[in-house]
Amino acid sequence: MRLCMRRFTRLTNGISKKIENHCYAIALHFMYYNYCRIHKTLRVTPAMEAGLTKDLWEIENIVKLLG
């Protein structure tokens, strides 16, 4: 996670001023990581491997969950 999110690599460029915004950014990262990104070793997303979903999600699906 530290390598993928700018908030954890350097505190000068991507720091969150509010803890709530930081938590939201982490939650969005985990949603993308588990539902949208195909992993090289699994060849599917972790959510598909765990049986939580059968389809590969797009970012639009995550945005629809918010609204």
pLDDT (tens place) for every residue of the chain, 67 residues total: 666 676 666 656 566 678 888 888 889 889 999 999 999 999 999 999 999 999 999 999 999 988 7
Classified as helix, coil or strand, 8 is helix
Q: CA 34, CA 11: separation in Å to the nearest integer?
A: 25
pTM for this entry: 0.76
- Cα–Cα dist 17/40, whole Å: 34
Tokens of 62: 């995550």
